[in-house]
Structure 1
Amino acid sequence: MEPGDVVARSTTILPPPNPQPRPVTLRELLGALGPHALRLVAGQRLDEPIGEPLIYGPGEPLPDVGDSIVFVTGARAGQPEALRRIAAAGGHTVVLKAWKQEIGDDHGLTLLCTPDEMAWRHLDALITTARLPGSAVNEPSGDLFSLANAIAASLGGPVTIEETTGRIMAYSNLPGQDIDPIRRLAILGRQTPERPTNAVEYQAVLTAPGPVFFESSHPDYADRLAVAVRAGHQVLGVIWVLCGRPQLVEDADRVLIDAARTTAMHLLRRRGSHDPDRTRRGEALRGLLADTLDAPAAAAALALPEATPVVVGVVRPVTQPGLHAARVADLVALHGEYWHSGAASVLDGDDLLLLLPGPASTPRLRKLGTDLATAARRSAGIALRVGFGPEVSGLDQARRSRQLAERVLLAGRPVAVLDDVRSELVLTALPDDDEALRLAPVRSVLEHDATQGTDYAATLLTYLGTFGNITATAQALNVHENTARYRVRRLTERFGIELGAGDETLVTWLQLRNACRRLQADTRRSVSDDSGRADPGA
């Protein structure tokens, strides 16, 4: 394939006309595109904003230049005169073809060079894209070019971050790291050149559980190491690293795996921030669940029939929810879209709410929750608790599903569907026992455990829960049967517990159970708060 053919394919990256450009300095532009696309030859005006590209050929009428970055086309013999005219018109930044130019006088202009094989229309597209909101230049944090440089510095070799189609999203630009002809063409065209081995290599990377090494059979081409960037089941992209230019670090595989996890979060954030449809659907879901948007209006905004069966899930980070919820928002959205194209999600306080069109079987919901929790842990080291409400008959019932999903979370399981904890929810729905109504034996057992460090409450709950089976009680408590018998006897002798008193025995069990669960919940909150204070930057 000829270099010109590779470059021509890149015209698809032209941005949509709607977003308005933002100020970008020449220094920022050079840092984003890198020296393989645009190189500084002369001039020091790097921190002044540049305008939109302007193509000018020697001998042509010169339009108003202003702060435009001027592409000088045509024969090189006419370029000196073109530079003089541009300087006289008040221009200050010029791009010429080829790396080496013999120009006697730069006329005070800032001169840049681009390779001969770089199509002018492609350079125009690159610069125009770089000046748009959300581009690598205009993202103050998390831009992929900075990330590619960080990964390259950690690995010791040049890096590209690509889509699964081979389109390059970002590439590293560090001194001392050389690239081969394949990578150079890829950077110039923002697309991996077509080669007979492309399909096989990409397929190997996308199906492998970790990094894949490719040994080059050509002396001019470098060996390569690659890894897929995943969020759960979804492949978001690929990281490629050139080996031997220079040599990679000894634990390159581990570093690359860590880099893939970080890159996944960047790609998820970029995907969500540039998706107005996802934002619109999320706001419709917020209104539906807050009862500020009726079901017909929500159905229109969500593009779902009003009578669609739906399930609402609630996703809650276990520690530092306010920080981590925002970090996993796009991960939740991605898993929802993998479930059904009509799914919607929105961040609501510390929780992420997920609307899933049915039908939704219990096993399938469990798997979705488990996959989501696993992806969050692997991609960002974040522990989640996921609860799903029941499937309801239409959007007008979605609030009920959300309310029950929040109660499912109270069961304390990492992932739970309503069917998993229905009995527990029935019991927790009982009114909290008034202190004045608490049975005297129950009060005595709880006070003794609190002051003496004993476990009589746990013993009694286990014994009653096994219907008086002392063997099962001993096994559950991990004690000898004689120890279990002794504790049960002490409960009746010391505290006056009646084990066969009908209603009183049932009330004893319920009051002990509710009291113990409140103590456990208080303990979990205390641990969570301490964790948040100890590591506020996690």
Structure 2
Amino acid sequence: MHGRIQGRSSPESSIPSATFVVPVEPPADAPDRTLDRIVETLGPHALHVITAGGRLSDKVREVVVHGPGEPLPPADAGILLLTGSPSTQAAGTVHDARAAGYRAVVVKAFGDDLARLAQAADEAGIALLSTPDEMAWRHLDALISSSKEPAFSDATDRFAAIGIGDLFALANAIATSVGGAITIEDPTGRVIAYSNLPHQEIDEIRRLGILGRQTPERPTNYEEYQAVLRSESPVYFESPAPEYASRMAIAVRAGTEALGLIWVLTDRPPVVARAERVLADAARATTLHLLRARGQRDPERARRTEALRLLLDGAVAPRSAAAQLGIKPDTPSLVLVIAPVGDDVEPILAASRIVDLVTLYCEAWHSSALCVTDSGVVYALLPTRTTDEPSPRLLKLADDLAATIQRSGRLDVLVGIGSCAAGLADVPESRAMADRVLAVLSGRSSRGEPTPRVASVEQVRTEVVLRMVANQGAAVEGQLLGPVRAIREHDQLHGTEYAASLLTYLSSFGDAVRAAEALNIHENTMRYRIRRIETMFDLSLEDGDQILATWLQLRLLRLID
């Protein structure tokens, strides 16, 4: 049963509890889509074929955003979104893309002639496509990823024939399928599109909404809209009077972000059987349309996002970045990195799923906050008031964000918080420290150790420093102390645990009782192992320098193994 709200309540009354329909999930084994189907679905306003390269009928899978000068990752039937100006992109990149497994390359023209790249694409046997200059790469990534998957689980794709962006045609298609008149609105109640089928009647509320492009003010509007936005399934509102129609509504979401609502009149004529499921299907199909509309109307955010990517890489002067980001060069800030985790997670696709939600949370923190995806993670730049260590409020923001992604998107993430930057010139260092914090959390998780999902650099400073030392080569095979190498080899050959025992003993400052408790063994066993280690591997635990170097290498090896 869908949620039911009886009658017309006053503004002070609350909405009764409701039991909602479980949303229908797309099948796990959904087929791959062909390149020509994606181009057809998105339309020429999003993708234009420069040259087919004989690849339009190929099935495609992953989407990769690639910056100039970055190493090109391999792909399984991928689409490469090649950022930067075509004048800076060597034709060799197109050939490399084909060799790396890509079926298509997408570029922005920025007024340049694409003939050289088209010739290279034809020679390589790869499709070359263009996207409008004002299209944000993040939005295009989301559009392509959405268009590659079925919008809903029924065998027949009810809305596939509707061109992306034609919201009025989509409204008529939904109205035909569900059996009642439709409006598509944004979260504030502004009417974006509506159906116009002659056999479906409307009431005065709908008529005024269409004429004014805004839902009329009513005492129950706020409660009703909140009920729909809180639910993941259709919500039913029974008519308060004979002259008004009963209604059903569902939120349209991208991940967990509400993009809009679909409203249907349910009794003029009565809607079809299983209307709730049809409406849930329609909401998933409408997501792609509303994402496309938002990407077209926000080119300024796209330009700021590209500027942030360059700033994080240290590839743009701080004053130039400040002008593009709309932030003063001396603004204190810090960087968060949010990484999807899990054995079955595809990082790049997962990051594109969560970036809008991360953006919402960060913009709630500061209106000038910005987010960008890069190599399967999301980076967020958060302006702060001071250069002090992250406040409890910011730590709570990060933890709430991770919890929301896990709860709503069924996706686990780790969040690394970088050092505080005094100005934009220090942002690349904050990004580097955030990456190091993430490496600490990821390392703990991979070793099966208890791992917080959020940490700042101050909270894991010791382990960050140790990893920096390890990266300098202090624990590479050729630099290992003789006893350390011999102990590791003995453990590998004989299944002993001398390395772990010695590390625990040294970390306990030579306290055998404490070390034994940590390893859950008897203290006499601990003392016996230490005596054996000293004898077998010619190790002196009376030499302070040798103790320090031995402990350091064993500790670093534990971090990087």
TM-score category by the smaller chain?
A: 0.5 to 0.7
Equivalent in the alignment of 1:121: none
The structural deviation recorded for 1:341 is: 1.4
* Correspondence for 2:367 among 338, 341, 346: 341
Q: How many Å separate the matches in 2 of 1:227 and 1:463?
A: 60
Identify the residue that residue 89 of structure 1 maps to in structure 2: none
2:385 to 339, 346, 359: 359
1:79-158 equivalences in 2 (<5 Å): none
- Tell me the residue number matched to 2:87: none
1:307 and 2:330 matched: yes
Take 2:524 and 2:180, find their aligned partners in 1: how far apart are those partners?
68
1:400 corresponds, among 429, 437, 457, to: 429
Among candidates 190, 193, 201, match of residue 167 of structure 1? 190
Check conservation: 1:449, 1:457, Cα contact below 8 A: yes
Instruction: Specify the code of the residue in structure 2 equivalent to 1:276.
Output: P
Once residues 151 and 449 of structure 1 are traced to their aligned partners in structure 2, the CA distance between those partners, rounded to angstroms, is: 66
Give the equivalent residue in structure 2 for 1:503. 545
Matched, 1:461 2:503: yes
Paired position in structure 2 for 1:412: 441
- Alignment partner of 2:477 out of 435, 441, 446: 435
Structure 2: how far apart are the matches of 1:175 and 1:204? 30
Q: Does 1:423 align with 2:462?
A: yes
Query: Shift of residue 409 of structure 1?
Result: 1.7
Contact 1:456 1:487 (8 Å CA) reproduced: no
Kept in 2: contact 1:460–1:488 (CA 8 A): no
Displacement, 1:424? 0.8
- Counterpart position of 2:398: 369
Query: How far apart are the structure 2 equivalents of 1:260 and 1:489?
Result: 67
**Matches of 1:382 and 1:145 in 2, distance apart?**
34
Query: 5+ unaligned residues in a row in structure 2: which ranges?
Result: 1-40, 42-158, 443-452
Q: 1:385 aligns with which of 403, 411, 414?
A: 414
Please state how far the C-alpha of 1:309 moved relative to its aligned partner: 1.0
What does residue range 101-250 of structure 1 map to in structure 2 within 5 Å? 161-169=184-192, 181=203, 185=207, 188-189=210-211, 190-205=213-228, 213-219=236-242, 221=244, 223-226=246-249, 236-240=259-263, 245-246=270-271, 249=274
TM-score, normalised relative to structure 2: 0.55
TM-score computed with the length of structure 1 as normaliser: 0.57
Query: Would the aligned equivalents of 1:232 and 1:371 in 2 still touch at CA under 8 Å?
Result: no
Provide Cα deviations, 1:254-293, integer angstroms capped at 9, x if missing partner. Answer: x96x997997787566534531111121222233334443
Q: Which amino acid aligns with 2:369?
A: A
> What residue is the counterpart of 2:31 in the other structure?
none
Partner AA of 1:346 in structure 2? V
Q: Distance in 2 between matches of 1:179 and 1:449?
A: 79
- The whole-number CA distance in structure 2 between the counterparts of 1:379 and 1:150 is 28
Distance 2:217 2:420 in 1: 48
Going from structure 1 to structure 2, the CA distance change for 1:155 and 1:304 (only over 3 Å counts) comes to same
Residue by residue over 1:203-229, the C-alpha shift from the partner in whole angstroms, topping out at 9 and shown as x without a partner, is 454567987553333356555455556
The one-letter amino acid of 1:329's match is V
Deviates more, 1:502-511 or 1:210-219: 210-219
Distance in 1 separating the partners of 2:189 and 2:378:
33
State whether residues 180 and 220 of structure 1, in contact with CA within 8 Å, keep that contact through their aligned partners in structure 2: no
Unaligned runs of 5+ in 1: 1-27, 29-135, 520-538
Q: What is the match of residue 554 of structure 2?
A: 512
Secondary structure, counterpart of 2:421 in structure 1:
coil
Please say if 1:289 is aligned against 2:318.
no
Q: Which amino acid aligns with 1:513?
A: R
CA distance in 2, matches of 1:150, 1:402: 46
In the alignment, what sits opposite 1:330?
356
Preserved CA contact (<8 Å) 2:255 2:354: no
Q: C-alpha separation between the residues in 2 aligned to 1:230 and 1:316?
A: 21
CA–CA distance in structure 2, aligned partners of residues 501 and 175 of structure 1 = 93
User: Contact 1:268–1:330 (CA<8 Å) still a contact in 2?
Assistant: no
Q: Which moved more, 1:306-315 or 1:185-194?
A: 185-194
Measure, in 2, the Cα distance between the counterparts of 1:175 and 1:489. Answer: 90
Structure 1 equivalent of residue 301 of structure 2 = 278
Report the Cα distance in structure 1 between the residues aligned to 2:513 and 2:292, rounded to whole angstroms: 54
Paired letter, 2:548: L
1:46-57 equivalent positions in 2, closer than 5 A: none
Provide, for residues 156-193 of structure 1, a one-character-per-residue CA deviation record: whole Å limited to 9, x for no partner: 987654323222345689999x7763685378445434
Aligned pairs, how many?
Answer: 380
Question: Distance between the aligned counterparts of 1:467 and 1:290, measured in 2?
Answer: 42
- Contact preservation (8 Å) 1:262, 1:380: no
8 Å CA contact retained: 2:515, 2:526: no
Contact kept in structure 2, 1:459 and 1:488, CA below 8 Å: no
Task: Determine if contact 2:334/2:383 at 8 Å carries over to the other structure.
Answer: yes
Q: How far, CA to CA, are the matches of 2:198 and 2:403 in structure 1?
A: 38
Deviation sequence 1:433-486 (CA, Å, 0-9, x none): 243442333223323443455544344434433445566656655x4x42x752
Task: Answer with 505-514 or 288-297: which moved more.
Answer: 288-297
**Rounded Cα–Cα distance in structure 2 between residues aligned with 1:172 and 1:149:** 5
Q: Secondary structure at the match of 1:307?
A: coil
Question: Whole-Å Cα distance in 1 between the matches of residues 192 and 457 of structure 2?
Answer: 42
CA shift digits 1:16-68 (9 cap, x unpaired): xxxxxxxxxxxx9xxxxxxxxxxxxxxxxxxxxxxxxxxxxxxxxxxxxxxxx
1:13 is aligned to none
C-alpha contact 1:157 1:243 (8 A) present in aligned 2: yes
Contact 1:224 1:242 in 2 (8 A): yes
**Bigger relative CO (Cα 8 Å, ≥ 6 apart):** 2
Return the letter of the residue paired with 2:398.
G
Does structure 2 retain, via aligned residues, the 8 Å contact 1:284–1:298?
Answer: yes
Distance (Å, rounded) in 1 between the aligned partners of 2:382 and 2:415: 14
Residue identity matched to 2:335: V
Alpha-carbon distance in 2 for matches of 1:146, 1:467:
74
TM-aligned CA deviation for residue 418 of structure 1: 1.2
